[in-house]
Amino acid sequence: MSQTVIELSEKHYSLSALNEAIYWLSNIYPLHISPSVIPDTIILSTNSEMSEESTKHILQVIHDYQLREKIKFETKSLKEIIIAKAFYPDVINVTEPTGDMRDPVLMDQNEAK
C-alpha cells in the first residue's frame, strides 16, 4: 500500500490551524498527524497515494487556515474595541483627527480638480 507524506515546519504552521484544515478536508482526504523524528517538523500522512493536484489543494487549505489564525490574532484588539464601542458608546470616546486630512495620493478625484 502506498502512502503520501507531507512535511511541514512548526515555525510556519500552528497545530490548531492544521487540525482545522484536516477536519475541513476529512470527507475528501483521510489525513492524520504523525509523530516526527525531525525537530520542529509536523508530518501529515495518508494511507493512499495522492496526486500532485490533491497535495496542492491540501496545502492551499492549510495556508488558508493559518492566515485566518494570523488575521484573527492581529485584529483581536480592534474587534474588542468595536464591540466595546457598540455596547458602551459613552465609555470609549472617539475624537476627530487633527491635521491635514486631504488624500496625499489624490485618490479622491474631487480634490484633484
25 within a domain of the structure (yes/no): yes
Count the domains in the chain: 1
Q: What is the 3-state secondary structure (H, E, C) of the chain?
A: CCCEEEEEECCCCCHHHHHHHHHHHCCCCCCEEECCCCCCEEEEEECCCCCHHHHHHHHHHHHHHHHHHHHHHHCHHHHHHHHHHHHCCCCCCCCCCCCCCCCCCCCCHHHHC
104 within a domain of the structure (yes/no): no
- The enclosing domain of 19 has a CATH number of 3.30.70
31 within a domain of the structure (yes/no): yes
The pTM of this model reads 0.68
Per-residue pLDDT tens for 61-107?
999 999 999 999 999 988 988 888 888 777 767 677 777 777 777 76
Per-residue pLDDT tens for 30-62?
898 887 788 888 888 888 888 899 999 999 999
The reported pLDDT for the residue numbered 73 is 93
